[in-house]
Amino acid sequence: MSATAELRAATWASHQRLEKRLDVKTRFMFAEAYRAHLEKMWGFCAAIERRLGRHAFGAALADYEKRRKVPLLMQDLMALGAERERLIRLPHCETVPECADPATAFGCMYVLEGATLGGRTLLPLVESRLGLTAERGAAYLASYGEDVASMWRGFGAALDAWCEAPERRARAVLAAVATFESLDAWLCGSAS
């Protein structure tokens, strides 16, 4: 089993739980709720990107800078009327895992890259319900544009190569599960 497949299996239940709790069809029904969701995602992604820094992956993921989500979220929020000064003051999620090495960085990034795939399925929803586009208000959901599949494959190849060794794979799995748990609590609050 590849590292990517192992992370998918290890996070499947967390992913399904979060998807059910998010209820995006309701959450994206109104512009205010969509904007609030993007603000929460900004706080989550900003925290992870701060922990990842510029060198968390070294040469293991050479195109990491192209994968950053905070600039896209900032672009969307500003298109929806937010001011840059307010965005900078939004709270950051403090429970994201540490990204002390490339293996844990890959585990955290697995969740963000998976959300990018999911964003492509949500884009038509915000386009039809809210009148937003990749150019205005939905750049985050449209991440990578037509290159989303090739970017996912590239990420998976880098993850599989770096996390081939069992100890690296185990750290990546733990980080991915912790990232899902952190995202769930951040977006949805404590489970009841």
Average pLDDT over residues 164-188: 95
Average pLDDT over residues 17-23: 89
The pLDDT value recorded for residue 191 is 59
- The beta-carbon contacts of 27-36 under 8 Å, at least 24 apart in sequence, are 28/122, 28/125, 28/126, 28/129, 28/130, 29/129, 30/130, 31/80, 31/130, 34/80, 34/126, 34/130, 34/132, 35/77, 35/80, 35/81, 35/82
pLDDT one-digit tens code per residue, 39-96? 999 999 999 999 988 778 888 999 999 999 999 999 999 999 998 888 889 999 999 9
Location of structure tokens 């799995």: 173
The 3-state DSSP class for residue 137 equals strand
Among candidate residues 109, 110, 96, 101, the one with its CA nearest the CA of residue 56: 101
Superfamily of domain 3-188: Heme oxygenase-like (1.20.910.10)
Average pLDDT over residues 12-40: 91
Average pLDDT over residues 97-118: 93
- Please check the confidence at residue 132 and state whether its pLDDT lies above 90: yes
> What's the one-letter identity of residue 92?
H
Asked whether 44 and 94 are in contact (CB, 8 A), the reply is no
Among candidate residues 118, 91, 98, 96, the one with its CA nearest the CA of residue 183: 96
Weakest-pLDDT range from 51-60, 76-85, 119-128, 136-145 = 51-60
The pLDDT value recorded for residue 192 is 46
Location of structure tokens 């884009």: 123
The pLDDT value recorded for residue 147 is 94
The pLDDT value recorded for residue 54 is 73
The pLDDT value recorded for residue 25 is 81
Percent of the chain with pLDDT over 70: 99
CA atoms within 13 A on the CB side of 132: 29
What are the structural domain ranges in the chain? 3-188
Using CB atoms within 10 A of its CB, is residue 92 exposed (0-12), middle (13-18) or buried (19+)? middle
Q: Using pLDDT thresholds of 50, 70 and 90, give the confidence band for residue 23.
A: confident
Average pLDDT, the chain: 93
